[in-house]
């Protein structure tokens, strides 16, 4: 699946001179250095998403989880998404509610400016990312019945975003 994504990205970049971006380039073609970084980081991402998905799917076993159809899928996805994005969403709300009310960044108001700044401003981007990741994990879990496929796919995508699309190097 990732190879297909990479080929599509390669064609988009080389033929149409497009990149896949939202705020910053998410998926970019790897340079040799960035590919080495990907190989270094992927074990950490894989362990995290395997543990994360295992815990979420095990703790969210409900009678509705075994049902099929759209309503059952969205019920499962809702619970999984809330489990995956809940903590980040609380931090984003603490940071951005005062900010949008023009009081100031929430972390700066509650703690010190050390906790605010660029780190907090990027957190809002993680919410849609994690929602998409939870959608993929739920769909793949419903299709395969195991957490490994979805966890490894999402871990690879998240690692690709961090190593391929970030400002490191």
Report pLDDT digits (tens) over 3-14. 998 999 899 989
Using alpha carbons, select from 95, 85, 76, 87 the residue that is nearest to residue 140. 76
Strands 24-27 and 20-22: antiparallel
Tell me the pTM.
Answer: 0.78
Position with higher pLDDT, 68 vs 50: 50
Q: Give tens-digit pLDDT for 23-37.
A: 666 788 898 989 999
Q: Is the pLDDT of residue 72 over 60?
A: yes
Q: 3-state class of 101 per DSSP? A: coil
Q: Is the pLDDT of residue 39 over 90?
A: yes
């Amino acid at each position: 699946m990732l190879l297909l994504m990479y080929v599509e990205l390669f064609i988009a970049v080389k033929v149409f001179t497009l990149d896949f971006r939202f705020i910053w380039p998410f998926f970019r073609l790897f340079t040799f250095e960035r590919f080495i970084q990907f190989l270094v980081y992927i074990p950490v991402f894989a362990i995290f998403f395997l543990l994360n998905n295992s815990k979420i799917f095990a703790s969210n076993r409900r009678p509705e989880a075994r049902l099929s159809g759209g309503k059952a899928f969205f019920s499962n996805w809702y619970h999984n998404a809330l489990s995956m994005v809940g903590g980040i969403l609380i931090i984003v709300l603490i940071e951005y509610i005062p900010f949008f009310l023009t009081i100031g960044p929430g972390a700066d108001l509650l703690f010190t400016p050390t906790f605010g700044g660029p780190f907090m401003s990027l957190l809002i981007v993680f919410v849609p990312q994690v929602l998409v990741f939870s959608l993929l994990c739920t769909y793949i879990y419903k299709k395969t019945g195991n957490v490994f496929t979805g966890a490894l796919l999402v871990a690879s995508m998240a690692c690709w975003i961090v190593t391929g699309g970030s400002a490191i190097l």
